[in-house]
Chains A and B, each alone.
Chain A
Amino acid sequence: MAMMAASRGHADTATGAPAAVVEPVARKADDEGRNPGCALRLDWVADVRVNRAAAERRAATVITRRSVKNEAQAAWLVKAVTCTDLTTLNSDDTPGRVRRLCGKARQPLDPDLQAALGLDDRVIRTGAVCVYHGMVATAVAALDGSGIPVAAVAAGFPHGLSPMRARVAEVEDSAAAGASEIDIVISRQHVLRRDWRGLYDEVAAFRAACGAAHLKVILGTGDLKTLRDVARASLVAMMAGADFVKTSTGKEGVNATLPVALVMARTVRAYAEATGYRVGFKPAGGISAAKDALAYQTLMREELGRDWLEPELFRIGASGLVSDIERQLTHFATGAYAAGHRHAMP
C-alpha cells in the first residue's frame, strides 16, 4: 500500500526528507481496500487551493482532447449504463413505480440490441437502484437475485437539516432494510462555516451507522458554490471514511458540472496518493444525455485513470440517461435513428 504525500510539498524531496504519512483510523476494514478514513488533517485542508478559471479551462478542454467514436463509443456507453445508479427520488414514488424501475435496472438494454452489440454473453445491468428509505424494501425484493445493490438516500435528504439523531437512525434503518449503499447528505453549514471538525464528525458518524453498507457522501456542490470548498469538503468526507464522494442531490439549483467533477476527481487522486485508498466518485443530477456521460467518463479516465470507469469507483446518478444511451446504441447498431417509444421505459 502506497503511503505517499499527504499534501503539497510533503513528498520525499531531493534532500531525502521523509514523506509525511497519513495513518488510517483504527477501524476494522469491512472489506478489502475499503477506505477506512484517517484522522482529520486540518493542515491538509488548509493547504487546498483551487483556481476556478483554470479548472474551467481544463474541464472544457479535457473532453475536446479525446474522442470516442464507433465501437469504442458504444462500449463506453454500455459501460456508463453499468455505472448508472438508476434513480427515483420523488414525492410521488410508489412501490409500483419502484418495481418498474428495478425491472429496467435488471435489463437496461433490449436483448436484441445487446446481441447486436456483440454483448449477449455479458450481464449488463445498472450499477444500483437508488431510492428513498421507504422504498428500500420494495427495491430489495424486486432486485432479488440480480446482484444489483440498492442505494438509499438518507440523513435528512436532500437538505440534511433533520436532527442528527434522526439522520443517523435513518442510515441505520436503511442499512437494516437491505440497502447496501447509503447516499447521505452533509450539513452544508459545516462547509460554509468552515467547521471541518463538525463535518468530519458528522460523516464519521454516518460511516459508523452504515456498517457494511458503503457510504456515498453527497456534498450538495450547488450550495457550496466555490470549487475550493468543494475540494475541502470532498477531502474531509474522505478523511471521515467516505467510500464515494457525490456531487449533488439533484435538488440543488445547480447539479453536477464538469469543473466540480474535475475538482472532486483531483481530490480523490490526492487522497489516494496520500493514503493508498481509492474512493469512488459519483456525479448526479442533470446528466441525461449520452454525450454527458461520455464527458464524465473521459474526465475520469484522464484525471484518475482506467479503474475509475468501473462501477466500483464510478457511478452516475440519473433517471433518464439510460433511455438516451439506448437510443444512441440503437443508432450505432442499426444505422437508423431511434424512437423512444420502441424502448422499455424505466
Chain B
Amino acid sequence: MTVADYFDTMDYAPAPESDGDADAWLQGHADGFRLFIDGGWRASAGDTYMTSVNPASGKPLARIAHAGSADVDAAVEAAAKAQPGWQRLGGHARARCLYALARLVQRHGRLLAVLESLDNGKPIRESRDVDIPLVARHFYHHAGWAQLLDHDAELGQHGPVGVCGQIVPWNFPLLMLAWKVAPALACGNTVVLKPAEQTSLTALKFAELVEHAGVPAGVLNVVTGDGETGAALVAHPRVEKIAFTGSTAVGRRIRERTAGSGKALTLELGGKSPFIVFDDADLDAAVEGVVDTVWFNQGEVCCAGSRLLVQEGVAADFYARLRRRMAALSVGPPLDKGVDIGAIVDDDQRRRIAQTVSAARDAGCTVWQPDGTVPDDGAFYPPTLCTDVATTSALWQEEVFGPVLAAMTFRTPDEAVQLANNTRYGLAASVWSESVSVALDIAPQLQCGVVWVNATNLLDAAAPFGGYRESGFGREGGREGLFEYLKPRIGPLVDEPWQPTAPTGRAVDRAAPSGIDRTAKHYIGGKQVRPDGGNCRSVTGRDGRVVGDVAEGNRKDIRNAVEAARKAGAWSATPAHGRAQILYYLAENLETRRAEFAERVVALTGCAQPVAAAEVTGAVHRLFTAAAWADKFAGGVDAVPVRALAVTLREPIGVLGVAAPEEAPLLGFASLLAPALAAGNRVVLVPSQVHPLLATDFYQVIETSDVPAGVVNIVTGARDGLAETLARHLDVDGLWYIGPSDGCARMEAAGSGNLKRVWTNHGRAVDWHDPARAEGLGWMRRASQTKTVWVPYGA
C-alpha cells in the first residue's frame, strides 16, 4: 500500500519483528540441539531427537535431543556432584552468578523474546514487554536473596534442599524457568531442568548464557524431552525436590509418584480463576482487565480470569463493552508487533479449545466471537465470549487454556464470593470495585493464592505466587518462595527412624473400677458424641491392664467431625488476638490440671514422673508459643516495582486433619494442635491410638476454655485407618501425620485426590521435647498458606 492508500484507510501496516538473529542461531544448531549436562553439551544416550514446531506456521523450527532415563541419571549425578561445591561457594559468589544471569538475559533480550514467540506462538509484544523483563527481574531479585540469605535471622537457620528436579510448562517457557531456577540456585541447590517438549528453545539458549555467567559445571543441567523424561526425573532417587508447573492431572500424578519418597514438592497447577466485576467498578478498566487476563498469551495462562462474574445490573452493559473491545483485538502472526493474540501452542491444543467451545454451544451457551480475520494457516483461535453459561457447564468448571471467557451474573457480594469459590481450583482472582471497602472485604474471602484488586496478572519476583486447593501448593517469588528451596538446619525431624509405641499389655485384665464408670466419647462440634458404630476399644496402661475405654471411631465419625470443622469457619476469620486469648486460656486450664495429666501420662506410658511433668510443661509451653505467634505471624508488604500495595496475608489452610503421634501422648498432639489453631485452622484430631486418654481428657480442658464448637474435634480409634479417611476426604484441606514410613507414603498418596497439603515425618523420629524443633515459626508456616493481594492505587 502507498502512503496515499494509508492516508485514506488509516490502517495499521504489518510490523514484523525481525527473526534474523533467531534464525541464525537456529541454523547454527541445524544438526540438532543436545543436552546440557555437567557444563557441556552431549547427545542423548539413544541419540534420539524430537522436532520443535512453529505453531504459527506449522513448520519445524529445530531438532531437539530427547533425553531418556540414562540422560536423566547423568544430569542428576552431575547436579549431585556439583551441589556441595555450589553451596560452599557462599551467598556472595552465588549472587554474582545470578546477577550475571540477569544481565545476560537483558543483553540477549531481543533474541530470547523472538525465540519465545517463534516457539510458543505468543505475540512478540508480550514476550518482549512481559516475559523477558520479568525473567531478568527474577534473577536480579534472587541475586539479592543469595547475597542476604546467610545473614537473615530466619533464612540463615536453613540450608539448601539439594538436587532439584524442575519441570516447566509451555505457556511461559523462560519465565517459568526463571521462577524455578533463580530461587533454587540462590539457595545453594543444583538443578536438573526439564522444559516442555513443545518449547525448549529459550531454555537451551539460557543454558548457553549459563556457560558465560560463571556458574560452575553441573549446577544447572537441561534435559529436553517429553513426559517420559519428566517421569524419570520425578522418579530419580537422588532428586530431593520436585518443582512442577503444569496441569492439575499431571501434578496429582507427581504427588502420587513421590509419595513416601521424602522429596519436597512444589506444584503450581491449573486454575479457573474468577474475575469479579461489581457495579461500582470502572467498567472500561475492567474490560481492559479481561483483555489482560483471558486474551493475554492466548488465554494459555494458569491464572487466567476465565470465569467472569458481573453484578447483574451492569451485566448487559458490560457484555456490550466487552464485545466492542473484542472486535478491536487483532489475531495474527506472533512476530507482528501489532498483534494481540498469537498462535495457540499447537494444533492439538487448538482443537481441544474448539471442541470445548462447540460443546458449550451445544449445551445452550451463547457463544460470541468477533468478525475479524483469523489466519487460515497455523493454530489460531479467535477471542471468545460465552454467556448464558450454567455452573454445571464444563466450560464453567474446567480449565480451557485458550482465549475463552465464560460469563455469569451475581446479585450480592456474598453470592459473588460463593460463586467464585465454587471450584476445585484456587489460583487467582480479580476483583473490580471503586470501593476499597468492598474490594478488601472480598479479597480475604476468596479461596486462592493471589488476588488482584482492579488489576490482573500483576506479577513480580518480590510477590509470592501460588495456589490454594487443587491449583497446587508452594509459592514462587519473594521470601515465601525461598522456603520452597530451603530446609531448616534444625527441624522437628531427627536422623533416626520413627519407632512404633507398642501397647504395654494384652488387653485382658481390667483394673478394678474406681469411682463411676467413664467411657470417653468422641468430641465433635463442641459435644461429646457416641461413636457411630456403637463400639468402644479398651485402653491399657503401663502394667498391661485396661484402664479405660474410648470410642471406636469409623468413617462416619470422621465425616461428622469434618462437617463440624467445616461449619466452624468463623474461627478462621476470628482476629488473631482472639485466637491467642483462647490458646492462653487452654494453657491456663491445662496448667490447673497439671497433676492429673502428669499422673495420667505415667499411668499410661509408665514413664518416670519427671518425664510426665515435662510433657505437661512442654504442652503449656507449646500453647503459649503458639498464642504468642498468633498475632505476630502476619505476613507483610512486598516491595513491588509498580505503584501498588502488594500485601502477603497469612491464611489458615482450612480444615486440617491431625494424626497425632503415638509417642509423647500429650505433648505430641499439643505441639501439633497449638500452631494449627493459632494459624486459624479447624482441626480434626485423631490422637495416639495407644494412649488416647490424654486427648479425651483434654476435651474437658477445651470445653472450659471458650474454644468455639467445631474448632477442635477428636475422634479416637484405629489411628491410621481414620487418618486415611481424612487423607481421602475431599473437604479436608490439609493433613499432618506422624507415623511409620509406609503410613507416611499412604497418606501422601491418598491426599492427592484434592491435592491436600500433607505433612508427614517421612518415617523419621520427631523430637517433641526440644522447643527449637517442636514449636515456632516453622510450625506457623506449616499451618498456614499465603495469599498475595495486589492493590494498585491512584487518586
In the assembly, what is the distance between CA of A74 and CA of B320, in Å? 34
Q: Which segment of A116-124, A141-149, A317-325 sits at the interface? A: A116-124
Contact A72 B12 (CB under 8 A): yes
Assembled-state Cα–Cα distance A191/B292 (Å): 33
Q: A5-B317, A9-B313 are in contact. Are A49 and B7 (CB under 8 A)?
A: no
| Most B CB within 10 A of own CB, among A10, A52, A54 | A54
Q: How far is the CA of A214 from the CA of B794 in the complex (A)?
A: 35
Interface string of B5-19 (1 = CB under 8 A from A): 111001111010000
Contact between chains at B284 and A266 (CB < 8 Å): yes
B281 interface residue, CB < 8 Å from A?
Answer: yes
- Tell me if B13 and A69 are in contact (CB < 8 A): yes
Judging by beta carbons under 8 Å apart, are B7 and A122 in contact?
yes
In-complex Cβ contact of A74 among B3, B289, B794 (8 A)? B3
A61 to B455, CA, bound (A): 14
B455 touches A65 (CB 8 A): no
Judging by beta carbons under 8 Å apart, are B337 and A10 in contact?
Answer: no
Range, interface on chain B: 35 or more
Let me know if A90 is at the binding interface, CB within 8 A. Answer: no
Query: Across the interface, do B285 and A8 meet the contact criterion of CB distance under 8 Å?
Result: no
Contact yes or no, A12 B15, CB < 8 A:
no
| Contacts A49-B282, A71-B3 given; does A8 touch B125 at CB 8 Å | no
With A71-B1, A118-B3, A309-B10: A51-B316 Cβ-Cβ less than 8 Å: no
Partner of A119, one of B7, B284, B792: B7
CB-CB < 8 A to B125: which residues of A? 64-65
State the interface size on chain A (CB cutoff 8 A): 45
Residue of A nearest to B388 (CB): A14
* Chain B positions within 8 Å of A68 at CB level: 12-13, 15
Partner of A13, one of B3, B6, B316, B795: B316
Q: Which residue of A lies closest to B336 (CB)?
A: A67
Task: Say yes or no for A342: interface residue by CB 8 A criterion.
Answer: no
Question: Given A10-B317, A49-B282, A302-B328, are A54 and B7 also a contact pair (CB < 8 Å)?
Answer: no
**Residue numbers in A under 8 Å from B317 (CB-CB):** 5, 8-11
Within 8 Å CB of A79, what residues of B? 7, 10
Of the residues B6, B434, B454, contact of A76 by C-beta under 8 Å: B6
A65 touches B340 (CB 8 A): yes
- Cα A69 to Cα B17 in complex, Å, equals 12
Contacts of B793 in A (CB 8 A): 52-53
Tell me the minimal C-beta distance from A324 to chain B in angstroms. 18
CB <8 Å contact, B285 and A51: yes
- CB of B455 within 8 A of CB of A52, answer no
A69–B13 alpha-carbon span in the complex (Å): 7
Quick check: A53 and B283 within 8 Å, CB to CB?
no
B455 contacts across to A, CB distance below 8 A: 53-54, 57
Contact indicator B279/A8 (Cβ below 8 Å): yes
Please judge, given known A-B contacts A9-B279, A119-B3, whether A301 and B10 are in contact too, CB under 8 Å: yes
A66 within 8 A of B: yes
Q: Does A223 make an interface contact (CB < 8 A)?
A: no
Shortest beta-carbon distance from B453 to chain A in Å: 10
CB of B3 within 8 A of CB of A117, answer yes
A53–B792 contact, CB under 8 A? yes
- In Å, the complex CA distance between A266 and B284 comes to 8
Interface flag for A91 (CB, 8 Å): no
Q: By the criterion CB–CB under 8 Å, are A54 and B289 in contact?
A: yes
CB <8 Å contact, A54 and B282: yes
- Cβ of B347 under 8 Å from chain A: no
**Candidate in B11, B285, B455, B792 with the most chain A CB atoms within 10 angstroms:** B285
Given the interface contacts A51-B434, A65-B125, does A78 sit within 8 Å of B7 by beta carbon?
yes
Query: Across the interface, do A49 and B281 meet the contact criterion of CB distance under 8 Å?
Result: yes
B644 located at the interface, meaning its Cβ lies under 8 Å from any Cβ of chain A in the complex:
yes
Report chain A residues within 8 Å CB of B10.
75-76, 79, 301, 306, 309
Q: How far is the CA of A11 from the CA of B284 in the complex (A)?
A: 15
B437 in contact (CB, < 8 A): no
**What separation, in Å, do the CA atoms of A226 and B1 have in the docked complex?**
42
Contacts of A52 in B (CB 8 A): 793-795
- Chain A residues with CB under 8 Å of B795's CB are 52, 225-226
Scan residues 85-117 of chain A and give those whose CB is less than 8 A from a CB of chain B.
Answer: 117
The docked-state distance in angstroms from the alpha carbon of A117 to that of B281 is 47
Inside 8 A of B288's CB, which chain A residues have their CB? 54, 57-58
The answer to the question of B322 belonging to the interface, with a C-beta cut-off of 8 Å to chain A, is no
Bound complex: CA A74 to CA B125 (Å):
22
**Are B4 and A70 in contact, with the CB atoms below 8 A?**
no
Q: Does B21 contact A (CB under 8 A)?
A: no
Residues of chain A in range 218-271 having any CB-CB distance to chain B below 8 Å = 225-226, 266
B536 contacts partner chain A, Cβ-Cβ < 8 Å = no
Q: B283, B292, B792: which contacts A49 (Cβ < 8 A)?
A: B283
- Check: A55 CB closer than 8 A to any chain B CB: yes
B354 interface residue, CB < 8 Å from A?
A: no
Near B by CB (< 8 A), chain A positions 312-344 give none
Contact of B454 among A10, A51, A122 (CB under 8 A): A51
Q: Is the CB of A72 within 8 A of B2?
A: no
Interface contact A14-B129, CB-CB below 8 Å: no
Is A50 in contact with chain B by the CB < 8 A criterion? yes
B285:A70 contact, CB within 8 angstroms: no
Measured in the bound complex, the distance between the Cα atoms of B793 and A74 in whole Å is 38
Task: Flag B270-288 by CB within 8 Å of A: 1 or 0 each.
Answer: 0000000001111111101
Q: How far is the CB of B165 from chain A (nearest CB, A)?
A: 36
Q: Which residues of B contact A306 (CB under 8 A)?
A: 10
Answer whether residue A173 sits at the interface, using C-beta atoms and an 8 A cutoff. Answer: no
Q: Which residues of B contact A66 (CB under 8 A)?
A: 12, 337-338
B643 at the interface (CB under 8 A from A): yes
Nearest-CB residue, chain B, relative to A19: B316
* Complex interface bits, A285-308 against B, C-beta within 8 A gives 1, otherwise 0: 000000000000000011000100
Contact partners of B281 in chain A: CB under 8 A: 49, 51
Once the chains are docked, how many angstroms separate the CA of A79 from the CA of B11? 12
Residues from chain B with a CB closer than 8 A to the CB of A51 are 281-282, 285, 434, 454, 794
| Interface flag for B314 (CB, 8 Å) | yes
The closest CB in chain B to the CB of A69 belongs to B15
> Closest approach, in angstroms, between the C-beta of B279 and any C-beta of chain A?
6
Q: How far is the CA of A66 from the CA of B7 in the complex (A)?
A: 17
Asked if B440 is at the interface (CB within 8 A of a chain A CB), the reply is no
Contact with A along B638-652 (1 / 0, CB 8 A): 000001100000000
CB distance from B11 to the nearest CB of A (A): 7
Contact residues in A for B644 (Cβ distance below 8 Å): 53
Contact between B340 and A71, CB atoms less than 8 A apart: no
Which residues of A lie under 8 Å from residue B316 when comparing CB positions?
9, 11-14
B315 within 8 A of A: yes
B434: chain A residues at CB < 8 Å are 49, 51
Q: Which of A5-60 contact B (CB under 8 A)?
A: 5, 8-14, 49-58
Whether A75 lies near B129 (C-beta < 8 A) is: no
In order of increasing CB-CB distance, the 10 nearest A-B pairs are A52-B794, A75-B6, A53-B792, A54-B285, A67-B15, A72-B13, A67-B337, A51-B282, A75-B7, A13-B316
A-B contacts, 30 of them at CB < 8 A, read A8-B314, A9-B279, A10-B317, A13-B315, A49-B434, A51-B282, A52-B794, A53-B455, A53-B643, A53-B644, A53-B793, A53-B794, A57-B455, A64-B125, A64-B129, A65-B338, A67-B338, A71-B2, A72-B1, A72-B11, A72-B13, A74-B6, A75-B3, A75-B6, A75-B10, A78-B7, A117-B3, A117-B4, A119-B4, A122-B7
Besides the known contacts A71-B5, A72-B12, 7 further A-B residue pairs in the complex with CB atoms under 8 A apart? A8-B279, A49-B283, A55-B282, A57-B455, A68-B15, A71-B6, A119-B3
